[in-house]
């Protein structure tokens, strides 16, 4: 066992080599239901499915009809419908104004909410035509002006930790996340706090709402306290400059499996309906979580009374009364959207659910199909072309959904055993032949394995399956199975003391991270050959820091390893490792690495992904990147990454499904892609070889000046002037590479797009 000290290459913010900016060109739809809002006038239900906004016609609540959908990058926290404009607040993505009557929810305007730290659009409300935004630092004020976009409506207020916001009458209430403080402002003076309240019984404020009958009574939804076993709803009364708690209601959880967290609230005549994430009680349908129904109509003279509860299933985030109907809509983490009949008194009286999606864990490309493993939603398969933004995005995109609460409610990975047998991480094996013939797949058998990583291994004598497993980051193991023996136990199991997500199999050789025992601080990159159903270690090499190895990729004689803010490169000659180099960036959280055609692709949990030129392994250089807005500061964000044969990049985001990123390496063969859009600029074919066409909306035949630049900013062609809405540029004599097309209008408007040229002189 060898130990090697590696010199880290410190990342610098400005690379000496030009970097190609990669665009997101597609995305899978849906996600775990996080937000729900009902508009009684139009009978539409607005659902934040993770980072996708979906709109349903609820004229018949038993048969919801999808009307529109659009993907974003940030988790959708709130929505407001106002005069045909749908405003949404998306974490780390900002505020959008959408055309609520278009099937694609066309973007009318965008207000970026970004800055240092965990800043984002966490909540919003409207007072008149002013939108108030809680961004986890302060409250902002903006207005939407049709034809112009968002404009400032005044200075920021309520600083340091403002996470939620509500308005009624002359009062604005803000909830401060850190320190759990409630501030009250008068609309006539945003600079002065009228009254404040805090309590040791509440650590974080999750939501606030004013009483229906009283402008001076506020309901405060509290996050988990005292080791996350309890959460409280507080009722506050404002009397002059005094803000006082006059009542409260407590719910209980069971950490770490069920954490009580009051996140959503809706009221009618001061009957309160709560979303409690995972409140549990043996008297109320355990193991199902419950949402209490409270009568607050007697306040302030009387007290809160629990008058009922609902069993919406498993883990719920938000509730919305479907006014004019007997139903309450609830966004459920695992089940999608649930409609409960709240008039019967039966806690489980529901009508059909709306499945929205789940937390994405992993994805694999097979031919023209993208397979996505979801926590809480099973396995979904999509035709890739249908996921591209400019090719009928999300129109009949899903072609298969394997879902069973009993057998594969959580799917972390999948593997094809052959052309027709598909294995899920739960151990369930499907026969896809009936599906390929136009029917439905058959569930054949279930292996005695359940893991988070499944990979085929082909030894000299047999086809084997390598399974990596863990539970809550503990009991990390790797096992060998016969994938065709449904009754067979593990043939060999070893302890890793390292994330099993690192496991990578190349024929009969397994690469993985391991520690010698649980007390060790040294993590070794290990290569083992499967011989006679056992792991025979070929070589190990100590990696350069104590962090766990989370991803390994192997190509030719190079092995790439990711560990937090560092990736390492090693040589591999079939029997031993050699140290090649490394790269360190304190701002990077490398969760997945992929080697392809001598480039290294690195998925960053919170920032997007980067492409590195590793032709000089001791000094990797960033040559391309897809950058998101400020990323998640929690443990959630990008999870995994894969590439297809043409170099297109598939980045799995826990909240946002799979984001399809345009390829960097244009030497990997030619496959037509959908036009890349910048605003309303359409560029096709892209990549181009002989010519490229640019189209955009120019109804008045306005004059535009067109300039072509290379990625270094050097002007390539002489400027041309056009007045048509579509024109063509010859690319036949251009060297292969990326180019930017800039259109400058008479009114100062600028449009910029990018084209890839594949076949140069």
The string of pLDDT tens digits covering residues 460-503 is 889 999 999 998 778 999 999 999 998 889 999 999 999 999 99
- Residues 444 and 513 grouped into a single domain: yes
Quote the pLDDT of residue 713.
65
Residue 469 counted as domain residue:
yes
pLDDT mean across residues, the chain: 88
Residue 65 counted as domain residue:
no
Q: 108 φ, ψ to 5°?
A: -95, -35
Residue 668 counted as domain residue:
no
**Cα–Cα dist 70/554, whole Å:** 36
- Residues 657 and 712 grouped into a single domain: no
Write the DSSP symbol of residue 276. Answer: E
Residue 43, Cβ neighbours under 10 Å: how many? 16
pLDDT at 681 over 70: yes
Q: How far is CA 18 from the centre of its chain?
A: 29
Q: Which of 120-129, 319-328, 359-368, 662-671 has the lowest mean pLDDT?
A: 662-671
Quote the pLDDT of residue 109.
95
Residue 42 counted as domain residue:
no
The answer to whether 210 and 168 have CB atoms below 8 angstroms apart is yes
The answer to whether 555 and 569 have CB atoms below 8 angstroms apart is no
- Residues 690 and 652 grouped into a single domain: no
Q: Residue length, the chain? A: 761
Residue 256 counted as domain residue:
yes
Burial class (CB in 10 A: 0-12, 13-18, 19+), 190: middle
The CATH number of whichever domain residue 698 belongs to comes to 2.60.40.3080
**Cα–Cα dist 676/662, whole Å:** 9
SS3 at position 459:
coil
Of the three residues 606, 638, 661, the one that is the final residue of a domain is: 661
For range 533-549, the mean pLDDT: 94
658-692: b (≥16 Cβ within 10 Å) or e: bbbbbbbbbebeeeebbbbbbeebbbbbbbbbeeb
Instruction: Determine the structural domain holding residue 220 and report its residue range.
Output: 76-318+339-354
- Residues 196 and 99 grouped into a single domain: yes
Of the three residues 661, 692, 726, the one that is the final residue of a domain is: 661
What are 275-296's pLDDT values in tens digits? 999 898 888 877 778 999 999 9
- Residues 385 and 508 grouped into a single domain: yes
Residue 126 or 683, more confident: 126
- Residues 121 and 233 grouped into a single domain: yes
- Residues 504 and 424 grouped into a single domain: yes
Number of domains in the chain: 3
- Residues 312 and 370 grouped into a single domain: no
The CATH number of whichever domain residue 397 belongs to comes to 2.130.10.10
Q: Which two tokens stand for residue 548?
A: 């766990």
Q: Which of 7-11, 143-147, 366-370, 509-513 has the lowest mean pLDDT?
A: 7-11
Residue 563, Cβ neighbours under 10 Å: how many? 25
Residue 740 counted as domain residue:
yes
- Residues 570 and 531 grouped into a single domain: yes
- Residues 474 and 586 grouped into a single domain: yes
Task: Please tell me the chain's helix, strand, coil percentages from 3-state DSSP, rounded to the nearest 5.
Answer: 0, 55, 45
Quote the pLDDT of residue 386.
85
**Cα–Cα dist 26/37, whole Å:** 26
Residue 163 counted as domain residue:
yes
- Residues 643 and 690 grouped into a single domain: no
Residue 328 counted as domain residue:
no
Of the three residues 598, 628, 661, the one that is the final residue of a domain is: 661
**Cα–Cα dist 372/350, whole Å:** 29
- Residues 151 and 218 grouped into a single domain: yes
Residue 693, Cβ neighbours under 10 Å: how many? 16
């Amino acid at each position: 066992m060898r130990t090697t000290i590696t010199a880290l290459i410190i990342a610098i913010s400005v690379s000496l080599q030009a970097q190609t900016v990669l665009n997101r060109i597609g995305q899978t739809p849906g996600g775990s239901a996080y937000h729900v809002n009902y508009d009684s006038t139009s009978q539409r239900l607005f659902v934040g499915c993770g980072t996708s906004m979906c709109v349903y016609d609820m004229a018949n609540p038993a048969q919801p009809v999808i009307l529109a959908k659009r993907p974003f990058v940030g988790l959708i926290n709130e929505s407001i419908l106002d005069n045909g404009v749908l405003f949404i607040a998306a974490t780390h993505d900002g505020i959008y104004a959408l055309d609520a009557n278009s099937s694609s929810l066309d973007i009318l305007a965008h207000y970026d909410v970004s800055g240092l730290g965990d800043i984002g659009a966490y909540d919003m409300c409207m007072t008149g035509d002013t939108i108030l935004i809680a961004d986890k630092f302060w409250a902002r004020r903006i207005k939407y002006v049709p034809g112009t976009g968002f404009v400032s409506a005044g200075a920021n207020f309520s600083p340091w930790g403002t996470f939620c916001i509500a308005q009624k009458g002359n009062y604005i209430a803000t909830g401060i996340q850190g320190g759990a403080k409630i501030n009250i402002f008068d609309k006539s003076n945003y600079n002065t706090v009228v009254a404040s309240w805090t309590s040791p019984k509440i650590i974080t404020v999750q939501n606030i709402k004013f009483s229906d009958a009283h402008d001076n009574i506020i309901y405060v939804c509290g996050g988990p306290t005292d080791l996350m076993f309890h959460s409280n709803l507080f009722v506050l009364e404002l009397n002059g400059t005094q803000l006082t708690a006059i009542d409260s209601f407590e719910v209980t959880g069971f950490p770490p499996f069920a954490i009580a967290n009051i996140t959503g609230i809706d009221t009618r005549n001061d009957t309160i309906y709560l979303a409690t994430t995972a409140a549990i009680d043996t008297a109320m349908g355990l193991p199902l979580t419950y949402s209490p129904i409270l009568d607050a109509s007697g306040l302030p003279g009387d007290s809160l009374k629990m008058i009922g509860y609902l069993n919406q299933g498993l883990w719920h985030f938000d509730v919305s009364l479907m006014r004019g109907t007997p139903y309450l809509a609830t966004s459920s983490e695992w089940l999608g959207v649930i409609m409960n009949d709240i008039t019967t008194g039966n806690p489980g009286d529901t009508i059909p659910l709306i499945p929205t999606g789940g937390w994405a864990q992993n994805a694999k490309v097979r031919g023209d199909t993208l397979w996505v493993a979801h926590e809480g939603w099973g396995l979904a398969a999509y035709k890739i072309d249908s996921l591209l933004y400019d090719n009928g995005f999300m129109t009949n995109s899903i072609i298969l959904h394997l879902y069973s609460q009993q057998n594969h409610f959580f799917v972390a990975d999948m593997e094809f055993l052959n052309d027709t047998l598909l294995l899920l991480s739960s151990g369930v094996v499907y026969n896809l032949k009936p599906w390929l013939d136009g029917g439905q797949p058959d569930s054949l058998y279930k292996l005695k394995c359940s893991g988070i990583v499944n990979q085929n291994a082909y030894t000299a004598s047999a086809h084997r399956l390598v399974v990596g497993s863990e539970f809550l980051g503990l009991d990390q193991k790797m096992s060998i199975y016969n994938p065709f023996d449904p009754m067979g136990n593990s043939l060999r199991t070893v302890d890793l003391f390292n994330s099993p997500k690192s496991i990578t199999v190349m024929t009969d050789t397994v690469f993985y991270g391991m520690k010698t025992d649980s007390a060790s601080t040294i993590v070794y990159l290990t290569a083992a050959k499967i011989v006679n159903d056992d792991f025979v270690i070929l070589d190990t090499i100590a990696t350069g820091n104590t962090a766990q190895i989370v991803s390994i990729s192997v190509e030719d004689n190079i092995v790439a390893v990711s560990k937090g803010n560092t990736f390492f490169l090693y040589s591999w000659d079939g029997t031993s490792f050699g140290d090649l180099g490394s790269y360190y960036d304190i701002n990077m959280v490398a969760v997945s690495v992929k080697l392809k055609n001598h480039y290294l692709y690195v998925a960053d949990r919170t920032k997007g992904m980067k492409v590195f030129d590793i032709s000089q392994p001791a000094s990797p250089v960033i040559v391309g990147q897809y950058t998101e807005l400020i990323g998640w500061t929690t443990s959630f964000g990008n999870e995994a990454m894969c590439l297809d044969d043409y170099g297109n990049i598939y980045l799995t985001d826990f909240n946002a499904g799979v984001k399809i990123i345009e390829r960097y390496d244009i030497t990997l063969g030619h496959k037509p892609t959908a036009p890349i859009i910048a605003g309303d600029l359409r560029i096709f074919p892209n990549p181009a070889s002989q010519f490229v066409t640019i189209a955009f909306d120019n109804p008045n035949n306005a004059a535009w000046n067109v300039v072509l630049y290379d990625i270094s900013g050097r002007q390539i062609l002489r400027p041309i002037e056009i007045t048509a809405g579509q024109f063509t540029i010859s690319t036949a004599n251009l060297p292969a590479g990326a180019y930017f097309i800039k259109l400058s209008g008479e009114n100062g408007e600028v449009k910029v797009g990018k084209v890839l040229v594949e076949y140069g002189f």
